[in-house]
A and B are shown apart, each in its own frame.
Chain A
Amino acid sequence: MLIKEIRDTLDAELLVGEDLLETEVHTACGSDMMSDVLAFVKDQAVLITGLLNQQAIRTAAMMDMVCVVFVRGKRPGEDILQVARENGIAVMATTHRMFTACGLLYEAGLNGGCKTI
């Protein structure tokens, strides 16, 4: 699935990463707890989270994730968007709640496949 398809599936607003819309995303992870995200390595993944701070982006960056989706209508501030730009990570915001956002992406063909390092 491409990042632009994630945007369309979630009716999301893209906030950072116009140049990343054609980037392929293979798997997804939905969590508000960053250490749980860090426990499993995923390839070219999207992080779906309600955690609105810089560490959500930094965590994604450590994992080489390519996209972060903020759910429940949360809007990241400029400080968060700046960390995303520095790390080449697309950021979007959707009004869907976590469960619905994950469900929509799963239904559209994205799975949570992951591997340990």
Chain B
Amino acid sequence: MSDMSGNSLHYHYIVPGDDFTQAGAASSAVKQILKQLGLNPQTIRKMSISLYEGEINMVIHAGGGEIDVDIDDKKIVAVLTDYGPGIEDVDLAMQAGWSTASEQVRGLGFGAGMGLPNMKKYSDELIINTTVGAGTKVTIVVNIEN
């Protein structure tokens, strides 16, 4: 879904929490859009990887959620909103290798404790607002360099 307002593009995605096979579908769609916009490959990769890790996190930790992506000529902003359990200790969650993921999730190839560190690494700005028991809002900003 998209709509034009001024010079910016807006896209909205629902991320189902009960179907792991679909995890990453929204990120794939966003990547296609960024490619069509002709952005440089490094910018596309930075947003794609950050968003993909965030989307996977939503599915494995929070029962899904919603993703809003805004693109203007300066930056791409992705806001991931979920109503899951929240993150108890964000500093700890940011540490490489730390994870609360179950063995089942690890069996799916995730839960190595690299999700948030990767998101931090590839984004230009990462903002995490979380409330235990209420949910988490993650904002990923990637600047567009021409």
Taking Cβ atoms with an 8 Å cutoff, the residues of A that contact B are 32-36, 38-39, 41, 49, 51, 53-56, 58-59, 61-64, 79, 86-87, 116-117
For residue B46, CB closer than 8 A to chain A, the reply is yes
Q: For B113, what are the chain A residues with a Cβ–Cβ distance below 8 Å?
A: 35
Q: How many A-B residue pairs have CB under 8 A?
A: 78
Query: A33-B106, A59-B24, A117-B42 given. 11 additional CB < 8 A pairs?
Result: A35-B112, A35-B114, A38-B118, A39-B117, A51-B109, A55-B24, A55-B108, A56-B109, A62-B48, A79-B21, A117-B46
Give the interface size bracket for B toward A.
20 to 34
B110 in contact (CB, < 8 A)? yes
Does residue B115 face the partner (Cβ distance < 8 Å to A)? yes
Contact A58/B114 with A63-B45, A64-B45, A117-B46 known, Cβ cut-off 8 Å: no
Binary contact readout B24-55 vs A (1 if CB under 8 angstroms, 0 otherwise)? 10011001000000000110011011001100
Q: How far apart are the CA atoms of A89 and B27 in the complex, in Å?
A: 17
Q: Is the interface of B mostly helix, strand, loop or mixed?
A: helix
Which chain B residues border A36 with CB–CB below 8 Å? Answer: 112, 114
Interface of A is mostly: helix
Chain B residues lying within 8 Å of A34, measured Cβ to Cβ, are 56, 109-110, 112
Q: Nearest A residue to B116 by beta-carbon distance?
A: A35
Cβ contacts under 8 Å, A54 to chain B: 21, 24
Check if A62 sits within 8 Å of B31, measured CB to CB: yes
Contacts of B28 in A (CB 8 A): 58, 61-62, 86-87
**Interfacial chain A residues near B111, Cβ < 8 Å:** 35
Assembly CA distance A28 to B65 (angstroms): 34
Quick check: B109 and A62 within 8 Å, CB to CB? no
- In the complex with contacts A55-B24, A58-B24, A61-B31, A35-B118 CB distance below 8 A: yes
CB-based contact A64/B41 at 8 Å:
yes
Q: List 15 A-B contacts (CB under 8 A).
A: A34-B56, A35-B115, A38-B52, A51-B108, A54-B24, A55-B108, A58-B27, A58-B28, A62-B28, A62-B48, A62-B49, A63-B49, A64-B45, A79-B21, A117-B121
Q: Report chain B residues within 8 Å CB of A63.
A: 45, 49
Contacts of A41 in B (CB 8 A): 45
Check A58–B45 contact: CB distance below 8 A.
Answer: no
Q: Is B23 an interface residue (CB 8 A)?
A: yes
Chain A contacts for B42, CB-based, 8 A: 117
